[in-house]
Chains A and B, each alone.
Chain A
């Protein structure tokens, strides 16, 4: 008998439902859920899903424990002050409490004092609902996940390729097998987007070269042909050195560059300054590797670049991303199968909160500007900038917060944030787990998980929109987050603005309502032409082929498979082919002012940023902050683990077991100097605070570097640790889009109980002795050598 790889459960079940993994990462895998008497008994992958082909990662599998988790937040609760105990109330009572406090706050401090933050892991209903409510309320401080996550690559490509909003993604991962060279930068894709990484391995088996650029020798790098372990934040220097070689050796596609690239000569001039020797000194990558990578990338076409947060969460983010565009443009691999700029994550179409529906109503115009100092006048506001106003009341105070997820642990400078939270009059948390953010709230609402509601899987990789179906009745008193926003709107007299209601019978038999997610989604999606064809029934994997639709999709008629490319997902398969870009006016392939890929951007110059991308040294680095470096001689970089996504995973036994610790990863040579053995408790600290954790002594990191995973907080049930973001500064940001610099900071590490100054001194002397002096002839960022107590 031939044994089969079939997604079939051995458990007793009566129904199999098809849905999509909603929001554990951006891959959006197909799921088959096995149900018995209305209870989920097993989870498998969906083998008919073009992207995931029946596989699931540990998060998708362990989400089985997420659903019926006894430590989930089950009921709405309120308290007068943060020192009181929570008391359980009904949804209506809790909403009344919130509305009353918000009215009082707005009366005293103005509506601008309300800060709304919708995280990336929340549902699309929360994003639409929160923005719409905030607009009605009159606050400009409606924040999104974008600038704290990885939206700056989208901003950078907006100015180079000219797409509307965040038009960054070109070729879907299913197409990557046509690539001859894949360059992965700033992303541990093998851990963070496991299923997507499979397409890289498939390409590799078909002969593609894989180049990985990251500060750590991680799982992705373990599969690379060429691994480049660089100093965090120096991608631009590395890329320009590669471009220098490609241009010098005339390995680039001259025809493409002449026809389609503006500012090539100016950028080439800048690149010439970056000899492989200089780049080795600044970036830590050996010059031989830089030369080999440059030749490999240019000679194995079509080549493509993909990447993620590592290029976003640093000071020079916009230039770094434009440099990668430059490298790709040199190969001409744009708009062809196997090519493209295929960034992961947060790839959403322009979203609209819609105008008011009631006749004669307009959104009030906020009297004060949003709390943000980014140069780009559009896009989300970055939460990095909210902390000081809360703490100091300047330029104006923030007194109310509505947020979700675990932002207290995810935002930079956690200890400072804890202090600031004492100034808040009303903090509302839309909760899944009683995490650190929950502990700092006055009112909490239990939010349903993805099998208890239906909705849009909204910012998948590959410009993908998908649908997830409701499988079971909501547990306890959980409701979708959009039901919170609509309920709150009712208390301000804005019922008509959230009209998509359906009647339900509550568990106590009374009549109630919930938002009809299909009606709501269709209404919002039809507001944006690019998603007007992504209607809920077209997306539904139980009604149509699973895998969703790749926007832009302007009508139902366009929701079909692109036959030319043998597409396995409906919608637009490849962007920027040699044809006019959708909605471009005048019609042109690259909808920039010049109609070309702009390596020299007048628009960015007018905003006050570099016209041509160059390397700008991030703040808090050995080069930018030599005095601080003597005190804190190690470079910190942070990232995510495979079994967790922010708070998700840490609250489930299975995923906590496989990756329990918020370790502090140091190189064996540094460990020897510090007298630290693998597993010893060490302290990592800078002026912003100390954190403790077990040392993982490993050659994954450079001797000059420390790596610590994010997503932990000290109230998590199984392995409580403080968040690594205690060490991250809230002021240092990318000036153009205000991405906080999560990926780069200076710290010192010592064995718990030992003298910190002594340990730091030893490490500093070791680095001085063993490694060359840095070339200081580089451009510095504006935050260089600032006082960190500001």
Chain B
């Protein structure tokens, strides 16, 4: 269940430890507590990249429900591309169409792609997709044109649940931290308020 979260945390740590100079690494953050599997990201991706039925650069997977700790649980996981540190797709690409940018984005240059599909076979996460309309591979590139214009990718921009966020890998921990701080804050205030009520009403709540 924590797969997405751990991955990003790990990448973040790695980025900070192994490449102290590299601060421009971008990543997408998925708040699994908020994703409800509405497919909005899938459709916004289709709209943004004018994709036909078939290739799904973003895909929402439902896992479960399964009984865990005596309760049913369901996980909704948006899966686009891991934008790996050492991407298998880049390594197997015979033409050099598949590339990794300095900010970490792995993308395919469709002008160079010959549609040989090697990357589709090589990718352990199922990210590259074949677009029969163009005869080329298409894959999540975090909407790099938008990123270059200073904008979030389309899916994160439009996410119905605000479950997706995007940014510098080191900034993303702020999202988690803020959420955690809010929770602590609520608990803190609730406790204080409870005490106040007890004092005022001498232990009688209502």
Contact = CB atoms under 8 A, between A and B. Distances in A.
Interface of A: 1-8, 10, 42-45, 53-58, 61-62, 64, 190-191, 194-195, 197-198, 201, 205-207, 217, 219-223, 227, 253-255, 642-643, 653-659, 698-700
B187 A642 contact: no
A419 to B, nearest CB: 36
Contacts of B168: 3
B161 interface: yes
Contacts of A254: 206
Interface in B116-173: 143, 145-147, 149-152, 156-162, 165-168
Contacts of A201: 33-34, 161
Contact of B159 (A55, A197, A207, A227): A55
Interface stretch (B6-14, B46-54, B87-95, B106-114): B46-54
Interface in B22-53: 26, 33-34, 36-40, 42-44, 46-48, 52-53
Nearest to A56: B158
A8 B168 CA distance: 20
Contacts of B167: 2-3
20 contacts: A2-B150, A3-B26, A3-B151, A3-B168, A4-B150, A10-B143, A10-B146, A54-B158, A57-B160, A61-B47, A191-B38, A205-B182, A206-B182, A219-B37, A219-B38, A222-B64, A227-B71, A658-B43, A699-B67, A700-B65
Contact of B44 (A56, A656, A700): A56
A699 B47 contact: no
A209 to B, nearest CB: 12
The 6 A-B pairs with the shortest beta carbon distances in the complex, nearest first, are: A222-B74, A190-B36, A207-B186, A658-B39, A58-B43, A61-B43
Nearest to A699: B65
B99 to A, nearest CB: 20
Given A3-B151, A4-B150, A195 B160 contact: yes
B157 A57 contact: no
B183 interface: yes
Contact of A3 (B43, B56, B65, B147): B147
A217 B42 CA distance: 23
A256 to B, nearest CB: 9
A367 to B, nearest CB: 50
Nearest to B168: A3
Given A4-B152, A44-B157, A698-B65, A57 B36 contact: no
Interface of B: 26, 33-34, 36-40, 42-44, 46-48, 52-53, 56, 60, 64-67, 71-76, 143, 145-147, 149-152, 156-162, 165-168, 179, 182-183, 186-187, 190, 206
Contacts of B64: 222, 699
Given A5-B152, A5-B156, A55-B162, A194 B40 contact: yes
Contacts of B44: 56, 61
Where chain B touches its partner, the secondary structure class is mixed
B172 to A, nearest CB: 11
Most-contacted residue by chain B among A3, A53, A219 (CB, 10 A): A3
Given A56-B158, A222-B73, A222-B76, A3 B152 contact: yes
B157 A6 contact: yes
A198 B160 contact: yes
Given A10-B145, A205-B179, A3 B166 contact: yes
A653 B52 contact: yes
Contacts of B36: 190-191, 194, 197, 219-220, 222-223
A350 B186 CA distance: 41
A197 B161 CA distance: 8
B160 A56 contact: yes
A45 B158 contact: yes
A694 to B, nearest CB: 16
A4 B47 CA distance: 20
Most B CB contacts (10 A, CB to CB) among A45, A657, A700 go to A657
Contact of B158 (A44, A255, A657): A44
A656 B36 CA distance: 18
Nearest to B159: A55
A222 B38 CA distance: 13
A297 to B, nearest CB: 14
B23 to A, nearest CB: 11
Task: From B65, B73, B145, B179, name the one whose CB has the most chain A CB atoms within 10 angstroms.
Answer: B65
Contacts of A198: 160-162
Contact of B65 (A6, A217, A658): A217
Nearest to A43: B47
Contacts of A57: 38, 40, 160
A217 B74 CA distance: 9
- Residue of B67, B145, B161 with most partner-chain A CB within 10 A: B161
B40 A61 contact: yes
Contacts of B179: 205
A205 B162 CA distance: 13
Contacts of A222: 36, 64-65, 73-76
Contacts of B76: 219, 222
B183 A207 contact: yes
B66 A58 contact: no
A264 B66 CA distance: 41
Given A6-B151, A201-B161, A58 B72 contact: no
Contacts of A658: 39, 42-43, 60
B83 to A, nearest CB: 15
Contacts of B143: 10
